[in-house]
Amino acid sequence: MDFKLKNIPSQQGRIAIVTGANNGIGFETTLAMAKYGFKVVMACRNMKKAEKAKSAILQKSPDADLDILQLDLSDLNSVRAFAKNYKNNYSQLDVLINNAGVLIYSGKKNGAGIELQFATNHLGHFLLTNLLIDLMPDDTASRIVVLSSIAHKTAKIHFDDLNGENIDDAEAVYGQSKLANLMFADELNRQLKRSGKKMVVLAVHPGGSFSGLFEEMSKGVRYYMYRTLAPFILNSNSSAAKPSLFAALSPDVQGGEYFGPQGFNEFKGKVGIAKRSDYSKREDVAKRLWELSEELTGQPFIL
């Protein structure tokens, strides 16, 4: 199932949003989508970095059609403002790639008192998708792509402690947020199918990569990882973007599938069906997470 970008026809006339488009996997995803003709809206928190990334993409692909709109996924008011701004400027959305994320647990909370990783990685994308899905044509070429992680495999949703205040392992909080991404994609796909909709929802994970998330690490840790781990487990960002691009562009997908690298421990390799934890398949948990997400965002999800 290896993915060849050269086999994808022109996507001229279509529009996509990539969250976290200014660095790492988001940058490479945006570059590839633009090369194939999409107008890409770069949804970024830091406008200065977004402008720099846009310039870098235009140097590589001078014909790229790029716009920048500010979006801080940790702030639900910012998500609402982004959606309103988008709808004021565009009448359609063909592909939504929910890519942005926070990797390192800081113990910080957003203005609503929600732990920053859960708020950014899951709730922000949940609300963003909810507010924009009505702009998506109801056909199989319309794609919602949600980035999960292999970290979901050891995680569960701590409904009694979403903020991780009583969790000793900080990595479990990140894992919870990425598990929520996967379960959201699955539940959204199920609900769309029950509603008779044709649009496709897919989850992906990038394997191991030095995405922009690793900028949050200290220089010493980054140096150690580059020198000791990179040759064995890490993709380039362009390779790590392939699962997202496959999900967004390939005709050979079915809603509810989950894609990632197929090599050792799924760190790198050709794109294919990724492995899920048994917990992630629990529809009762996904439904409870969905209802909680509606409550926390204050926005019923109407399909």
Q: Quick one: pLDDT at residue 214?
A: 45
Q: Quick one: pLDDT at residue 232?
A: 53
Run means of pLDDT, 10 residues per run, the chain, 303 residues: 70 97 96 97 97 98 98 97 98 98 85 94 98 97 97 95 84 94 98 97 85 46 48 67 95 95 82 96 98 97 90
CB count in 10 Å sphere of residue 50: 22
The 3-state DSSP class for residue 29 equals helix
Model pTM score: 0.91
174 is catalytic: yes
Among candidate residues 36, 86, 174, 258, the one labeled active-site is 174
Q: Quick one: pLDDT at residue 4?
A: 65
Q: Quick one: pLDDT at residue 210?
A: 54
The DSSP result for 122-156, as a single string, is IIIHHHHHHHHGGGS-SSTT-EEEEE--GGGGG--
Q: Quick one: pLDDT at residue 124?
A: 98
Amino acid at 159: F
Q: Quick one: pLDDT at residue 165?
A: 87
Distance CA 93, CA 118 (A): 25
Q: CA geometry: angle at 6 spanning 214 and 69, to 5°?
A: 45
Pick the CATH number of 5-296 from 3.40.50.300, 3.40.50.720, 3.10.20.310, 3.40.630.30: 3.40.50.720
Residue ranges per structural domain of the chain = 5-296
